[in-house]
Amino acid sequence: MNITCKLLSSLSFEEAHVLFNRGFEGYVVPMNLSIDVFVGRFGNDGLSPALSIVAYDGADPIGFVLQGIREVDGQKISWNGGTGIIPEYRGKKLGVALMKEAEKCMMEHQVSVATLETLSENKAAIALYEKCGYQVEDDLLFLRANGILDRELPVLDGYEVIRIPAAQSIGTDLFPSIVSWQTDASNTPKFGGEVVLITKNGEVQAACLIRKNCLFGNETESITLFQVKENGNEDAHTKLLAYALEYDQPINRTTYNFLKGNGRVVSSLLARGFENTSISQVFMTKNLNEV
């Protein structure tokens, strides 16, 4: 083998699309995206061909790491949006070399923290990332609850519920700065993200980041919950969840890459009828300032 690495921009979108689908062929959750969906990920998820790495054997592309960068609180954070090696090159210990090349690119761009997610059951991938210096920060939950969860919403009793576009929360302290990439407030506005706050005497008691699926003039069809930040006031965050997730409506509700470490909120959701699904991921990070 004559393995070299180049940027993804060395390929056409058509070539990159073929490589991506082949790289996920036979995985735990195979991904076979159309070229439109594949190309759309770069804009929607903040990935960049100029930051992503392709491994070649001679002239043939055989593997990749898709990457993007965003700046939060003055530090650059990167995301691994997918690592793949085509089937005939798996088991040849190329993963570590590919990840090191990706890390080199991130360090050249002064990235402080590298992040990624991978399926909890993909033990081989977790072991690879740990070998490359990543640590598991938390489990990511995909919970689900359909139908009416409460006949009536709770009385607010001095609280006020406020809704703002997710974009207005970017750069504030409403949510943590280092979270699973696609649950960040800077990502969700592209898909109609909304922040729901509950306040008392003008002070924010809890906030959540959601995406509501509904058409103007029609009832809500579904709501996805990405993040909740609360201050220990269980009464406040319980009321917030009821209003934000419309417990009194016959709709579908899901969480997406929701931090298991947010234990009080997870307990509240489970107590109201949310259930675990067959999917879970782990959130992993690496501090590149210590490399």
What pLDDT digit, counting tens, does each position of 148-182 carry? 999 999 999 999 999 999 999 988 999 998 999 99
Average pLDDT, the chain: 95
CB atoms within 10 A of CB 241: 27
Percentage of the chain surpassing pLDDT 90? 88
Residue 289 placed within a domain: no
> Is residue 29's pLDDT more than 90?
no
pLDDT at site 2: 86
240 with 149, same domain: the answer is yes
The pLDDT value recorded for residue 72 is 86
Q: Do 21 and 84 have their domain in common? A: yes
SS3 269: helix
pLDDT at residue number 127 = 96
List CB contacts of 161: < 8 A, sequence separation 6 or more.
Answer: 196, 197, 198, 239, 240, 243, 244
Shared domain for 125 and 79, answered yes or no, is: yes
Q: Are 212 and 94 contained in the same domain?
A: no
Res. 190 pLDDT band, cuts 50 70 90: low
H helices within 24-161, ranges in order?
Answer: 35-44, 95-108, 123-131
For residue 287, give the nearest of 68, 66, 77, 74 by alpha carbon.
77
Would the pLDDT of 189 be above 70? no
3-state secondary structure of 228: strand
Q: 61 in a domain, yes or no?
A: yes
How far is the C-alpha of 34 from the C-alpha of 11, rounded, in Å?
17
Cα–Cα distance, 127 to 42 (Å, whole number): 27
For 135, left (φ over 0), alpha (ψ -120 to 50), or beta? beta
Considering the domain architecture, whether residues 167 and 213 belong to the same structural domain is answered as yes
What is the secondary structure of 136-204 as a DSSP string?
Answer: EEEEEEEEEEES-S-SSPPP-TTEEEEEEEGGGGTTSSSS-SSS-GGGSTTTGGGGTEEEEEEEETTEE
In a domain, 123, yes or no: yes
Q: What pLDDT, in 10s, does the model give residues 98-121?
A: 999 999 999 999 999 999 999 999
Same domain, 153 and 126: no
- Tell me which of 82, 109, 133 is where a domain ends: 133
State both tokens at 154.
């709770």
Report if residue 7 sits inside a domain. Answer: yes
Task: For residue 216, name the pLDDT band (cuts at 50, 70, 90).
Answer: confident
Task: Please indicate, yes or no, if residue 224 is contained in any of the structural domains.
Answer: yes
Per-residue pLDDT band for 215 (boundaries 50, 70, 90) equals confident
Mean pLDDT throughout 260-273? 97
pLDDT interval class at 53 (50, 70, 90): very high
147/258 same-domain check: yes
Q: What is the CATH number of the domain that holds 91?
A: 3.40.630.30
* pLDDT digits 0-9 by tens, 196-206: 999 999 999 99
CB distance 99 to 265 below 8 Å: no
CATH number, domain of 258, equals 3.40.630
Alpha-carbon distance values, 66 to 41, 42, 52, 212 (Å) = 10, 9, 5, 28
Q: Predicted confidence band at 217 (pLDDT cuts at 50, 70, 90)? A: confident
β 275-287/258-259 pair status: unpaired
Q: What is the pLDDT of residue 187?
A: 84
Band (pLDDT 50/70/90 cuts) for residue 30 is confident
One domain for residues 74 and 110: yes
Q: In this structure, is residue 234 part of a structural domain?
A: yes
- Domain around 112: 3-133
| Same-domain pairing of 32 and 98 | yes
Q: What is the mean pLDDT of residues 211-218?
A: 88
Q: Which residues contact 267 (CB under 8 A, 6 or more apart)?
A: none
Which residue, of 84, 113, 133, is where some domain finishes? 133
133, 153, 175 — which closes off a domain? Answer: 133
Task: Tell me the C-alpha distance between 23 and 38, whole Å.
Answer: 13
Query: Considering its fold, how many domains does the chain have in total?
Result: 2
Cα–Cα distance list, 14 to 53, 67, 123, 277 (Å): 16, 18, 31, 34
Q: Are residues 151 and 35 in the same domain?
A: no
Is residue 290, in this structure, part of any structural domain at all? no
Q: Is residue 125 domain-shared with residue 154, that is, in the same domain?
A: no
218 inside domain:
yes
Question: Average pLDDT for residues 228-235, to the nearest whole number?
Answer: 96
Is there a single domain that holds both residue 111 and residue 71? yes
Compute the average pLDDT of residues 133-162.
97
